[in-house]
Each structure stands twice: as C-alpha cells, then as structure tokens.
Chains A and B, each alone.
Chain A
Amino acid sequence: MRVLLLFLVLLLCHAKPYKPINIMELMKIHDIMQQDRDDDDDNDDNDDYVYNFKDNFISDCPFGCQCSRRVVQCSDLGLTSVPSDIPVDTLMIDLQNNDITQIKENDFKGLNNLYALFLVNNRISKIHPKAFKNTKKLQLLYLSYNLLTQIPESLPKNILELRLHDNKITKIQKEAFKGMQSLHVLEMSANPIANSGIELGAFNDMATLYLRIAEAKLTQVPKDLPSSLTELHLDYNTIAKVEVEDFIRYKNLLRLGLGYNQIKFVENGSLANIPKIREMHLDNNRLKRVPPGLNTLKYLQVVYLHGNSINSVGVNDFCPTRAKAKKALYTGISLFANPVKYWEIQPPTFRCISGHRAVQLGNFRKK
C-alpha cells in the first residue's frame, strides 16, 4: 500500500527531470513494514511445526546469501548461476561479483515484485529472451562488467535505469530499446561501439534523459540519439570535430561532456542548437581557439577548456556584448594547460562571471 502511495506521489510530480529512483526510501518503507515480523522464530521448542510439509524445507534464503527486508544480498559468493530459492516477494537482488555465465529462462520466475537487479561483474554472455517475462516492475537493471556482445533482447519494458558499462557490445541494433519509453538513464560506456555500430532507428521512441557512451570508439557525435536528452556524455572517445548538424536533435541538453576526445574545431553555429546548455566539458581536446558561439549561450555557467591547444582568447569569446543578454553568470571557466599566455587575455573577457574565482587560468605545461 505504501509503495503504491509512493508511486502515486512520484507520478504526480513528474515535472522532475528524472523519474526519481530512491532505493533507500523504498527500503526504509519496507523496514517499517517488516519490523513486526523480525522476531519470527521457528526455533522455539514449543512450536508445533514438527513434520509440517511447508516448514520442512528451508526456502527462506539461498545458502550464503542474506535476506532481510525483501533485499537479497548474494554478492561475492563465487556463484556460477542465479540461485534457485530466492524469496518470491523480493524487491532487490544483489548478485554482483560472482561467476554467473548466463541468465536462464526461469532464473527470475515468480519474482513479480522485483524492483532492482544488480548483476555487475559476472561473466554473463547470454540472457534468455524470456528471462524477464514476469519482472514487470523492474526499474533498475545493472549489467555492467559482463561479456554481453549485444543489447539483450526482450529487456523489461518499464525500467528506468539500464547500465551496460564495460561489456563487449559492438552494435546497437534497430529497435534495441523498443517500447522502453520510461528508460531515463542509459549508461553503456566502455563498449567497443563505433558510429557505424549504431543502426538507424536504434533509439526510436525513447525518452531518455541521461545517456553516456564514453570510452567507446565513436569518431563523431551520433546524430540519431533520443531528442529528449538533457545530459549527454561522450568523453574518452576519438571524436575529431563538432559539426553544425551534430546537436540539431538535442535541443534540451543541459549538460554535455566531450572531454578527452580529439576535437580540433567546433563549427560555427553548432552550439546555437543547444540554447539551454548549462555545463559543457571540452577539456583535453585539440582545440586551437575558444569554440565560436559560447557568447550566445544565455544559460551557460560552466565551460571546461583546459588541456587544449588554445593560443589566443578574444575579448568577446565568452560574454555577449550586451550585458543583459546573459541570463546566468559563469561560475566556472577553465583555461589552464593551454598555450595562451594569461597576461595576454584582457580582463573584460570575463565580464560576465559570478566572481573572480570562477576563472582558472594558469601556465601551459608541455606534457
């Protein structure tokens, strides 16, 4: 009942950027619910469960796991498969750091209330297409650090957060996330994905807000990602430039991470497509100048440009000529580790910052 109420509350407030995921809150609520049952004890000598059919089986918790408050903690046990006797009312299962090689059809059978499933750091290469058939309430699915080679088929449709970090995924097939409109967070970094591996329509119909494909093999900004994105992180790729059409779809972006790429230049007009941007990281690239158009971004507050090859900074590179045009002052601009000499930058360059500590200059150090 409380859970129901909780979800109602969450639904009511969906002005929020993410559908909130609050494990601790959930657990606390169940703590309250379960408190009375804590002292159940079948060890009492006076009880009458002798030879009772049901009680004669130990089905309360898989051996070595801990089960309390509908959380099943089975990490670090050297398990080679998902244990078979998980209590049916379980909300959360932690199976990380085991040696599980595959997810079989009936591994999660009957777990109709499952809310969060952590399978991080196993050796999973196969997931049965029907494995998630009954877990309709699953919201968090963490599959990072496994051996998956593609986005699993038939993922549960209602999940909010999917993590596939560090697998062997080379391809995002068309309609890989079909029907997953509530997937708000997708983290699939550290997979060998190239631009050519993202099929046209792979992200169709999605409403994702946070997407991270870092540490991959991208050479340009993918143009077919969900248009709903507010955060896009593509750090540690080999993107060589930012082109005019790169951000046309991503008008809602608030945060953009492009650090640690090989970006030589940002085409004129490309930043005009993301007018709401608040924070942009372009550090550790190969930029020779400050990207054009920064001074038109009314809400930009943080911009990282350190670790580039910028050798001159113009007086209007950051701030608009009309003071009123800027709606939010900069709180962080980093320019250190660039060849530009700080004494050649005119102080009025930073006329639209919140305080002098918002700028980091410093000396250029050749690596």
Chain B
Amino acid sequence: MRLACLILLLVSVCWALPFYQSGFLDFMMEDEPGSAMFPDLTPPEGPVLPRMPLEPVCPFRCQCHLRVVQCSDLRLENVPENIPNDATLLDLQNNKIREIRENDFKGLRGLHALILVNNKITTIHTKAFAPLVNLERLYLSKNLLKDVPPNMPKSLQELRIHENKITKIKKATFTGLPNILVMELGSNPLAGSAVDGGAFADLKRVSYIRIADTNITSIPKGLPSSLSELHLDGNKITKVTAESLKGLKNLAKLGLSHNEISVVENGSLANMPHLRELHLDNNALTIVPTGLPEHKYIQVIYLHANKIGTVGTEDFCPPSYNTKKAMYSGISLFSNPVPYWEVQPITFRCVFDRSAIQLGNYRKK
C-alpha cells in the first residue's frame, strides 16, 4: 500500500511541464458566422510544425498543483472547462457562479472534494453530480439554493449547505446517502416545523448534524442513533421533549444554546446515556434539568443566562460518589437569578476542581 501510494505520488509529482492548452478554448459566446470562414486551413508548405506534447491542462488563472485545482476568487460566472480529469479537489469558492450545468463536472470521476462556497448558485442541474462517483465532501455554503440539491453522489460523507435559502427539509431529501457522516444546514430560513419528522432517519452513519440559526421551534424527530453530535443553537426551540431524543445512545455533545427553552422533560437525559457535554445557556429555564445526578458521563453543562431561581444540593451530583463515572469539568450558572451565596458548596461534591464551576452575579439585561 505504501509503495503504491509513493509510486502514484512520484508519477504525478514528476509530471513535467506546467502548462498546455490541448484543444480549442470554447469561448462560450455566440456561434460566430465568421469561424466557418476558414475550413481546414493547413499550414504552408515545409515541415509540419511540431505540436506540444500532451500535458495536463489547467484553466487560465486557476492553479493546478498535482490534483488540487484552485480556482477561487476569480469572478468566474461558470464552472471553467478544461478541469484536469484526475482532479481530487476542486476549489471554486468566492466566484459568481449562478448555475451548475449538466456537464460542468463531466469526467471528474476522481473528485473527492468540491468547494462551491460563496457563489450565487440558484440552480443545480439534476444530473450535474452524476459523474462524481467518488465525491466525499460537498461544500455549498453561502449560495442562493432554495432546496437541497437532488441526486447527490452516494459516496458523499460531508454535506455543508450553510447560509442558503432553504425553507424545507422533506422526508425524502436525504434518501440514497448512506455514507453521510457530517451534515451542516445552519443559517437557512427554516421556519417552525420545516424539518419533516424522519428526514434524517436514512442517514445510518451520520455522526454530526448542525442546524443552527434558523427558526425551527422543536428538535427534529426521528434522529438516527448513530449521532454523536447535535448542534441546534440559535433557533426558536421552546421545549426539550424526551421523545425527540429517544434512542440517541451515542450522543456525546448536544448544543441547544440561544433558544427559548423553558422545559426539559423528565427522562430527556436518560435517553442520551453517553452525553458528555450539554449546552443549555441563554434559554428560559427556571430549574436545573432533572436527571443529572443519575447521568454517568456528563462532564460539562452550561446553564448560564437562564431564569434559574434556586439550585438544590441534589441537582447535579448523586448522593454517593460511586454512581458517576466522570466528574464534572465545567458547570456554568452565572447570569441566573439565583444568588450564589444560596447555593451550598456540597452541591458540587462531584466536580473535578473548584475552577470548573462558574457562578457569579445575575445581571439584568
């Protein structure tokens, strides 16, 4: 394997000369009547002029180093032609591309990563991704897409569609993507119940989902059990229901900061037995969520900037040490109405270190 790897590298590294323009550059302008004026003009007599040897091409102004094609920041209005067929990474970010056409990625079978961040893409042809049979990362953030594009490659592992105009995630949106590990859908105008129940259920391997800074009002239902991180901060979620977290036995990190949560239902934490870090800061909680003393692994819990008025001695720690497998390394409670002098020191008996607790005064905004 190592040898093969090295040979491959060696071959591609030593690929000789920098630049060659193989065929005609299509100017993509009007079909000139004039261009047909000179049929088969052969050079004058004498020896046939030498042709340049066949070398990899690179679109003008882009840089092609080995198999990385770097075309960012070029004001491109279309995906350029002449992308080398062996490209593994194509960076087209920060251009003015409006549309992805059917044949834009034709022949790019080896592409692993496609970066289209910060363009003006509104439409993607339904067959545009068909040639990309090995694509693993697709970054479409900061565009103008109204829908998640259809027919994405089955090989896809990471999909980022941050900051587009997506208003709806349907149940069938992500079917046929069994290899997805990371999904980032933040900053889209997703309102109320714009995410259908079970929309993520087909993503059997997904470990990270982030839907931050939208207007969804509840935790999406039917999340896959493979999930280890769920980030839903900056939404309008009002309640954490035990039902929505059912079966998330691998969840280790849950971010719910900056929502409008006033209630965490009993049993919610028990549905996430391996949770290690929970952010519930900047919400409308009036009590510490229940279930923390019984939870074996939770180490970090952010509760600052809520409306918690009292903290009991049994809120965080079990009566005896033995049931907890990990001590707390971070608890934040500042900016709550509870006066710190009313919280008894024994409340934090299962905390690793005094500095792990952040109390402090309540400041009315």
Name A residues whose Cβ lies closer than 8 Å to a Cβ of B: 2, 5-6, 9-10, 13, 15-25, 29, 32, 43, 45, 49-51, 55-58, 63-64, 66, 73, 75-78, 96-97, 120-121, 144-145, 163, 165-166, 185, 187, 189-190, 210, 212, 215, 230-231, 233, 235-236, 254-255, 257, 278-279, 281, 301-302, 306, 323-324, 326-329, 331-332, 334, 336-337, 342-343, 347-348, 350-363
Let me know if A24 and B9 touch, CB within 8 A: no
The 8 A CB mask of B7-45 against A (1 = contact, 0 = none) is 001101111111111111101011011111111110111
The residue that B182 contacts in the complex, of A66, A230, A323, A356, with Cβ under 8 A, is: A66
Q: Is B327 part of the binding interface, using a Cβ–Cβ cutoff of 8 Å? A: yes
**CB closest chain-B residue, reference A325:** B49
A357 with B24: CB separation less than 8 A: yes
Question: Shortest Cβ distance from B254 into chain A, in angstroms?
Answer: 10
Task: List which B25-78 residues lie within 8 A (CB) of chain A.
Answer: 25, 27, 29-30, 32-41, 43-47, 49-52, 60-61, 63, 65-68, 70, 72-73, 75
- Scoring B46, B65, B187 by chain A CB atoms within 10 A of each residue's CB, the highest score goes to B65
Chain B residues closer than 8 Å to A13, beta-carbon distance: 10, 13-14
| Known A43-B297, A332-B21, A332-B24: A22·B65 in contact at CB below 8 Å | yes
How many Å from the CB of A182 to the closest CB on chain B?
13
Question: Residues of A contacting B39 with CB < 8 Å?
Answer: 356
B155 CB-CB contact with A under 8 Å: no
Q: Does B231 contact A (CB under 8 A)?
A: yes
Which chain A residue has the least Cβ–Cβ distance from B64?
A: A18
Interface contact B21-A20, CB-CB below 8 Å? no
Complex interface residues of chain B between 344 and 360 (CB less than 8 A to chain A): 352
Q: Are B67 and A15 in touch, CB under 8 angstroms?
A: no
B260 interfacial by beta-carbon distance below 8 Å: no
Q: Decide if B170 is an interface residue (CB 8 Å cutoff).
A: no
B113 near A254 (CB under 8 angstroms)? no
Shortest beta-carbon contacts, A-B, top 5: A361-B34, A362-B32, A342-B34, A17-B18, A24-B88
Nearest CB in chain A: distance from B44 CB, A: 5
The verdict on B362 contacting chain A, using a C-beta distance below 8 Å, is no
B210 is an interface residue with CB less than 8 A from chain A: yes
Decide if B176 is an interface residue (CB 8 Å cutoff). no
Indicate if the CB atoms of A336 and B49 lie closer than 8 Å. no
Report if B143 contacts A (CB, 8 A): no
Q: Does B215 contact A (CB under 8 A)?
A: no
Residue of B nearest to A185 (CB): B63
Contacts of B73 in A (CB 8 A): 144, 163, 165-166, 187, 189-190
A185 to B91, CA, bound (A): 15
Of the listed residues A16, A24, A231, A348, the one surrounded by the most CB atoms of chain B closer than 10 A to its CB is A24
Docked complex: B126-154 residues within 8 A CB-CB of A: 141-142
Is the beta-carbon distance between A350 and B13 smaller than 8 angstroms?
Answer: no
Q: How many residues of B contact A (CB 8 A)?
A: 95
Which residues of the partner chain A approach B104 to less than 8 Å between Cβ atoms?
Answer: none
**Given A97-B117, A215-B75, 9 extra CB contacts under 8 A:** A21-B65, A21-B68, A25-B88, A57-B299, A255-B60, A279-B21, A328-B50, A332-B24, A336-B29
Q: A255-B19, A347-B41 are in contact. Are A25 and B9 (CB under 8 A)?
A: yes
Q: Mark B157-193, 1 if CB is under 8 A from A, else 0.
A: 0001011000000000000000000101011000000
B89 adjacent to chain A (CB < 8 Å): yes
Q: Is the CB of B30 within 8 A of A355?
A: no
A residues in contact with B255, CB < 8 Å:
63-64
Contact call A22/B68, Cβ cutoff below 8 A: yes
Nearest chain A residue, comparing its CB with the CB of B213 = A78
Given contacts A97-B141, A331-B23, contact A2 B213 (CB under 8 A): no
Chain B contact surface mostly: loop
Contact B43–A334 (Cβ < 8 Å)? no
B271 in the interface (beta carbon within 8 A): no
Q: Is the CB of B23 within 8 A of A66?
A: no
Do residues A352 and B276 form an inter-chain contact, with CB atoms below 8 A?
no
A165 to B160, CA, bound (A): 23
Report how far A187 CA is from B89 CA in the complex, Å.
Answer: 19
B6 near A20: Cβ-Cβ < 8 Å: no
Separation of A162 and B34 alpha carbons in the complex (Å): 43
Please tell me if the beta carbons of A64 and B231 are within 8 angstroms of each other in the complex. Answer: yes
Complex contacts, B117 vs chain A, CB 8 Å: 96-97
Which A residue sits closest to B326, measured CB to CB?
A: A56
Tell me if A25 and B94 are in contact (CB < 8 A).
no
Whether B40 lies near A58 (C-beta < 8 A) is no
* CB pair B329 A58 closer than 8 Å: yes
- B34 to A362, Cβ gap below 8 A? yes
Interface residues of B in 104-120 (CB under 8 A from A): 112-113, 117-118
Closest-by-CB residue of A relative to B87 is A24
Write 5 A-B pairs (CB below 8 A) sorted by A numbering. A2-B5, A16-B16, A22-B68, A29-B5, A257-B60
Q: Are A18 and B63 in contact (CB under 8 A)?
A: yes
When the two chains form their complex, are residues A351 and B43 in contact, meaning their CB atoms are under 8 A apart?
yes
Which residue of B has the minimal Cβ distance to A32?
B1
Bound-state CA distance A111–B112 (Å) is 26
Q: Which residues on the A side are within 8 Å of B363 (C-beta)?
A: none
- Please tell me if the beta carbons of A331 and B25 are within 8 angstroms of each other in the complex: yes
User: How far is A63 from B117 in the complex, measured between Cα atoms in Å?
Assistant: 23
Our pick among A56, A231, A360 for the contact of B32 (Cβ within 8 Å) is: A360
For B25, list chain A residues within 8 Å (CB): 302, 331-332
Q: What residues on B are CB-neighbors of A66 within 8 Å?
A: 182, 208, 229
Given contacts A360-B32, A361-B34, contact A352 B49 (CB under 8 A): yes
In the bound complex, residues from chain B placing their C-beta under 8 Å from that of A357 are 24, 35
Docked complex Cα distance between A112 and B184 (Å): 29
Q: B303 CB to closest chain A CB, in angstroms?
A: 15
